Amino acid sequence: MRFVQKIRSLQREMVFRDPSEKKLFWHSSAIGLRHLAVCVQVFGIVGWMLSRVFANPGARFDRTETVAALIGMLIGTVTTYLARSVLINAIGCFLCAAAVAFGFYSNASGTLNPELWIMPMGILITVGMAPVFSDYYSYLASALAVWFIISYGHIDSIIKSPEASWIVLFIVSGVLLGVLLNWLFVRERQKIFLVQRELIKLAFKDTLTGIDNRRSLMEAMQNYHARAASNDFYFLLIDIDDFKRVNDTSGHDVGDEVLVAVAEIIDRYTQTHARGRLGGEEFGVVFAGEESAACALAKQLCESVAKLRISTHAITISIGISRLSEAMSVAEIFRTADQGLYEAKRQGKNQYILIS
């Protein structure tokens, strides 16, 4: 029950943090909808082919229109399948929808009452394609194009029909229903995207400091370890000196301030490297680069943290450094870095020790 309540709470907070996240949503939606879009497009193509198979035996269809419609459908479907951006996906869906509409439009010439044929086909295409468009504007443009194509040449007869008002109402209702469905599908995808964002944050981010947590850092370390044979990687095990004394004398709220401040410094200087909070007052960094650069980073971190003053406390850190080697397991690399950390504290703290 609490899980359901949490999901609902996350869904109510459907807000993108910044334009880049919104752009990521549109991009991921377009990519994620490719297979569904292709399935719907194939369904439309097969439906059009079956309409030809079961057409009136005496019906005659324009060969040029048939070939043009088929080519448009294939180009639209292939474009959709290969799409890797919102624009290309929209173009592919638009082309296929327009081609399917043109294919059914060409069928109308073989019927006695084309007006009765185009209306249900227009509604079917308009509503059927609503879930596969990743944004509102491309769907609306495609829906209008479908109705323009499928009703071309029949508008006068529709207007002059005694039931013209009903027909127009029928068409407008179909378009509005499609727009509503598309909007609802987009909203649901947005909910899923934002909930997944929060769940990923909870799974891989430290809630107090905002940097990666132990799980995330360990996954990164495993990846780096797999490439250690051909690259230089170093693991920095960082511990806040005398952190227990800070908690005991000033309280856990001040201790939390210290953790956040140290995490901000680590995050600032290790933007291009994997870093995270391992637990308690321990942090870790997987540094990609030469030994001298890893030591320079450790020195910079020690000096920057030493400038902190939080509630009368002077804050320092000690760092143990170990090189990632394929000959050592991740656990052994941790133990080696821990030995360096122990030695750094034994020698007076506020320094780093490399164990090679």
Residue 338 DSSP symbol: H
Which helix (H) or strand (E) is 285 found in, with range?
strand 282-288
Dig out the tokens for 118 from the structure.
């185009």
Catalytic site includes residue 281 = yes
What CA–CA distance (Å, rounded) separates 316 from 337?
A: 18
147 near 168, Cβ under 8 Å?
no
Dig out the tokens for 180 from the structure.
């509503």
Edge-to-edge strand list for the sheet holding 317-323: 274-279, 282-288, 233-240, 317-323, 352-355
> How does strand 282-288 pair with strand 233-240?
antiparallel
281 near 241, Cβ under 8 Å?
no
Dig out the tokens for 330 from the structure.
């991740």
- Sign of the CA dihedral 147, 149, 154, 160? positive
The CA R_g of the chain, rounded to the nearest whole Å, is 31
Alpha helices of the chain — where are they, by DSSP H?
2-12, 19-32, 34-53, 63-82, 86-108, 114-128, 136-150, 155-160, 164-204, 214-226, 243-250, 252-269, 291-306, 330-346
148 near 194, Cβ under 8 Å?
no
Dig out the tokens for 14 from the structure.
């459907």
Diameter over CA atoms, the chain: 98
What CA–CA distance (Å, rounded) separates 148 from 225?
A: 59
Options 281, 290, 291, 332, the catalytic residue: 281
Residue 132 DSSP symbol: G
Q: Determine the distance from the C-alpha atom of residue 263 to the mean position of all C-alpha atoms in its chain, rounded to a whole number.
A: 26
Active-site amino acid positions: 281
